[in-house]
Amino acid sequence: LHKLCGSINWIRPLLGITTEDLAPLFSLLRGGEDLDSPRALTPEARDSIIKVQEALSSRQAHRIEPSLPLQFIILGKAPRFYGLIFQWDPQLRDPLLIL
């Protein structure tokens, strides 16, 4: 849950999701000191996850824009790394073009 919330919080601004939208999910982190302890997913937290899922689905892969340079970034921590190929178009409302 801790890793999920961290990943969602990182991409939240690009998805147009507010911290208030995610508050029910982040509130599950409160309580016990052990980050790996089991947590029960509340209906409100489930709604927050659905908002993230819908935002990600609507911003999935784009077609390449030939006039923009391709960019590649490596995300994550060892042992799990992820690569993201993207373009950045500052003229768009949502400038991140995930390829």
pLDDT digits (tens, 9 = 90+) for 28-58: 888 666 767 777 888 999 999 899 988 887 7
Is the pLDDT at 79 greater than 90? The verdict is no
State yes or no: pLDDT of 60 exceeds 80: no
Whether pLDDT at 69 is above 70? yes
Residues 6+ apart with CB under 8 A from 96: 14, 59, 86, 88
Q: Where do the domains of the chain lie? A: 1-59, 61-99
| pLDDT higher than threshold 80 for residue 10 | yes
Q: What was the pLDDT predicted at 36?
A: 72
